[in-house]
Amino acid sequence: MAASYGLLVFRLNIPNKLIFLSKCRSLHSSGTLKLSPAVSYVQIRNSSDAKFKILPLDPIDHHEEKFDKILIANRGEIACRIIRTCRQMGIKTVAIHSDVDTTALHVKMADEAYCLGPAPTNKSYLNVNAILDVIQKSSTQAVHPGYGFLSENMDFAQKLENLGIVFIGPNWKSIAAMGDKIESKRIAAKARVNTIPGFDGVVQTPEECVKIAQEIGYPVMIKASAGGGGKGMRIAWNDKEAMEGFRFSSQEAQSSFGDDRLLVEKFVDNPRHIEIQVLCDKFGNGIYLNERECSIQRRNQKVIEEAPSTFVDEKLRKAMGEQAVALAKAVGYDSAGTVEFLVDSKKNFYFLEMNTRLQVEHPITECITGVDLVQQMIRVAKGHKLKIKQTDVGINGWAIESRVYAEDPYKNFGLPSVGRLYKYIEPTYIPNVRCDSGIQEGSEISIFYDPMICKLITYGPTRDATISSMINALDAYVIRGVSHNIPLLRDIMTEENFVKGNLSTKYLYEVYPDGFHGKQLSEKELEHLASLCGCIFVRHETRSAHFLNQPQPPLESTLPAGWNLIAEINGRNVELLVSERKQIFEVTVNGKIITIPGDILLSSPVLETTIGGEPYTCQLIKHDGAGNLRIRFGGTTFSVRVLTEVAAEYERIMPQKPAKDVSKVVSAPMPGLLKSIACKVGDTVVEGQEVCVIEAMKMQNSLAIGTTGKVKTVHCKEGEAVEEDQIIIELE
């Protein structure tokens, strides 16, 4: 049967709710959905037909012996995710928290909760003595560390063991062996795992770092020996960058892990980052649960992951999986863990590191295998054997995870944002969507912790169907109060290279060489957005004229039959003629008539409509009544001005406000802590010189001056907290 494009219509059991779920698809006789070249949408209104079933490979056995109570030594989404599985298993949970997390979601979800101290991590979530006190007070039997914080801390695991408390993770000897990147490379080589050439030892000084880098050959990767998650990692292409990389990486490593040791290794240029999930028990059994593609990164931190990888074939999967299990068995590993590899274009793969913990992106593995990794970690820690064999593990469909961060994606692909979420609605009503989050409406994103809002996961029978669900989930995700990276995530989902699966760790920098600037509207999309904004303007004007809270007030003779408007979008003026007949808007733009349903609800956080017969899911974020709109369209938020012809004429003769000269000031690009200031009043600084360093969410950010001059004022002191756009240094 030949492929054809059309509208797939289903029903969803949500009254009066239309969910626009996927881009236009071609439906073949095989039932496979594929992306069409057309940039239009599909409505899916039936959850029963659209729902993709995840089959559990090892369902919970309530007759199996289990822990009575588990403490989660973490916060946020991972703490909430662990609590959910514990509830399903019938296990009570204990939460810990800092004073600023008193009302956090994980605290509310747990059966018990205890405050550890102030917000800084070394006084709360990294305060081992305080956590041990809570363990004794709560009569906890076991501790799940999640990821980050103490999850790979050998001393913490050993202290728990000495107290007779079970650490839900690998034994401390495995953590010691694999948590240290230098030692892990040596063990990997002995286990005949492919390794990257590099310096086999700890780098002591910046000068030694440069010498080693020269011997290995640029480019090199400078990274923290202890820890992961992109913290304490820098790529150096020359001697200067090696010196700077040593300084910043050691500072970040000390701040994040309490260990500033570094190593240097060859940087494999333009590789894919592919990791293998392993699962082992205490009886020598080990399996691998396929791979995850994690190549889309910024600053060595993952942005989007998927499972399986479009690049990995069965032969490569088997080879990587067997090496990963061999490495785990070589250190007596007995929990869930991840072995990370770099893979070049010829499918040569090299061991990168082993994460001896639960990975952030573990949900996509759960979606395609049906294995609850938290459940398995708890079972293994209790002393049960794995019931799953390697031959049981298959690949059921596809899964993608988008990391939704409180970040401004227009600043270096994501500088942190802080604030309170005054409106927050997750798109969980859309089929095949999973949201792993630790926040709710009213939650605050602070400078002290990771800026992650949610792990948004979609899954389906094919990669195309999964991308479709992700597109629509991102469009319907309502987040107000902080900047977020949904515009970038949404744009990637329709980007040609991503759709084709052409990925590498350079993806973001190759696709967006000048940085991310939001969705680039086609002429058709520009007309559609302008038309929608014109209709919103008219709807607001007609409602205001009646002073009634009615969605569709009748037009009267006091209002014009047609509205001549001008919509300003991205420096473009689009002329519109808007009229309403029989509850349908007709918009004339560039000689074409575009129809839009008249049932526009200005109060709805998600605006689902059709424009010229094509379904769209948009969000009207702000409308001040004077024609100034902020609207999310295609994932990106656009500022649009809608003016009448008379108002536009007045606008043209208004004097322009002169632009400010910002070259003589250094302002904070994000909220954070001022770690150092490299100048004082009266000093002469030159263009491009580093003048201060800001730490935000454990990442060091160097700030440089934009011109040469003499320092007039230093407005802040080292150790102070600064707000976004706050002026730190000013020149004469």
Strand order in the sheet with 709-714: 665-667, 727-731, 709-714, 684-685
Report which of 198, 271, 696, 129 is spatially closest to residue 448, judged by C-alpha positions.
Answer: 696
Token pair recorded at residue 137: 């007070």
77 tagged catalytic = no
Distances (CA, A) of 313 to 154, 261, 291, 305, 723: 36, 37, 10, 17, 48
**CA quadruple 677, 681, 682, 684: dihedral, nearest 10:** 30
Distances (CA, A) of 62 to 93, 371, 375: 17, 16, 12
Residue of 291, 293, 306, 353 marked catalytic: 353
Pair type for strands 262-266 and 301-307: unpaired
Assess contact for 713 and 697: CB atoms under 8 A. Answer: no
| DSSP characters over 468-525 | HHHHHHHHH-EEESS--SHHHHHHHHT-HHHHHT---TTHHHHHSTT--------HHH
Rounded Cα–Cα distance for residues 669 and 731 (Å): 18
Burial of 477 (0-12, 13-18, 19+ CB in 10 A): buried
Token pair recorded at residue 432: 């095949």
Token pair recorded at residue 296: 């889309």
How many CB atoms lie under 10 A from the CB of residue 289? Answer: 28
Q: CA 434, 437, 443, 444 torsion: positive or negative?
A: negative
Report which of 278, 271, 267, 319 is spatially closest to residue 295, judged by C-alpha positions.
Answer: 271
Token pair recorded at residue 208: 């030694």
Report which of 159, 204, 199 is spatially closest to residue 182, judged by C-alpha positions.
Answer: 199
Cα angle 368, 67, 123 (rounded to 5 degrees) comes to 90
Looking at residue 300, its amino acid is N
Query: H/E element holding 380?
Result: helix 373-382
Q: At what angle do helices 128-138 and 154-162 cross, to 10 degrees?
A: 30
Backbone angles phi, psi at 588, to 5 degrees: -95, 120
Q: Strand pairing partners for 673?
A: 695, 721
Report which of 222, 301, 230, 219 is spatially closest to residue 268, judged by C-alpha positions.
Answer: 219
Assess contact for 78 and 151: CB atoms under 8 A. Answer: no
Q: Using the structure block, give the residue that is written with the tokens 């409505």.
A: 43
Report, as residue numbers or ranges, the catalytic residues: 353
